[in-house]
Amino acid sequence: MTKSGGNRSKGKLRRAVMGAGALVLVLIGYSEARSYALGRELVRANPDSIGADVTLTAFANALGRSAYEANCASCHGEDMKGSQAKGTPDLTDDIWLYDFGRVSDIERTVLYGIRSGDARSHNVTDMPALGLQQQLTPEDIKDAIAYVRSLAKKDADQAAAARGDKIFQDKGVCYDCHGRDATGISDYGAPNLIDDEWIFGGDDATLYKSIYDGRHGKCPAWIGRLSFPTIRALAVYLHSMSKESADSPSRTAAAVTDSPHG
């Protein structure tokens, strides 16, 4: 091959490489532009109506999954099942400590957190240390546990459960947050005590510690740390991963039951 022929071959190769590089840049630019456009559309949409848009939901779930893995999995686990040792709830069920599990509800929690220090966070009340504060004696606490056991249809000493019922409804003032029927009040983040689902664990020792020492679970506020499109996408993803729709009849009924004025 002559020198000029070699130069022509190198020139063609160089142009081919440059063309391929330009195509890659175009594709990257298109992808980024599309993501930007979808992100804006995601923010503009009614959060509780996003599920009706297949394209927007797919985009949000992909972005939300990535955000979860990077920011939430360390506490809630890669499987999203939570950790009783850390007091982080299971995010794959349809049980919500605050509000009713709509995308807008989840978004608020992600934005402002729980006892995060942000003035807008969920921080109306928490589980008081009824033992440390000497409001309840150790015997009272054991009776209250027996009562809770009986609510969840677990084997319990019936005499102790009867005493615990009175403690729940009177001396312990437990009803004020958990409701007279012990089904919880989502405005306060007070959990349902009759479903046998526990954030910190439902064995006797853990229940004793919860009543004696109190609980003060936290979730960080992600506003200012994640972009708003990412926060909304995370809320959509968490909603998608729950077992039931937030608009199910059971959730609607819970909204009425959980009202402190109902």
Ordered structural domains, the chain, with CATH? 45-122+219-257 (1.10.760.10), 138-213 (1.10.760.10)
Are 144 and 128 in contact by the 8 Å Cβ rule? The answer is no
Per DSSP, the three-state class of 106 is helix
Q: What is the pLDDT of residue 1?
A: 52
- Show Cβ contacts of residue 121 under 8 Å, excluding neighbours closer than 6 positions: 112, 113, 114, 115, 221
Q: What's at 193, amino acid-wise? A: L
Residues 41 and 56 sit within 8 Å (Cβ to Cβ): yes
Q: In 3D, which of 37, 115, 84 has the Cα closest to residue 199?
A: 84
Q: What is the pLDDT of residue 2?
A: 55
Question: Are 164 and 146 in contact, with CB atoms under 8 Å apart?
Answer: yes
pLDDT along the chain (262 residues), means of 10: 56 53 46 84 96 95 97 96 95 93 97 96 94 97 96 87 97 96 94 93 95 96 97 97 56 34 26
Q: What is the maximal distance between C-alpha atoms in the chain?
A: 104
Is residue 218 a contact partner of residue 113, using CB atoms and an 8 Å limit? yes
List, in order, residues 6 or more apart from 178 with CB less than 8 Å away: 168, 184, 185, 190, 191, 192, 193
Taking the model in full, what pTM does it have? Answer: 0.79
Cα 99 from Cα 76, distance rounded (Å):
19
Two tokens, residue 17: 């490489």
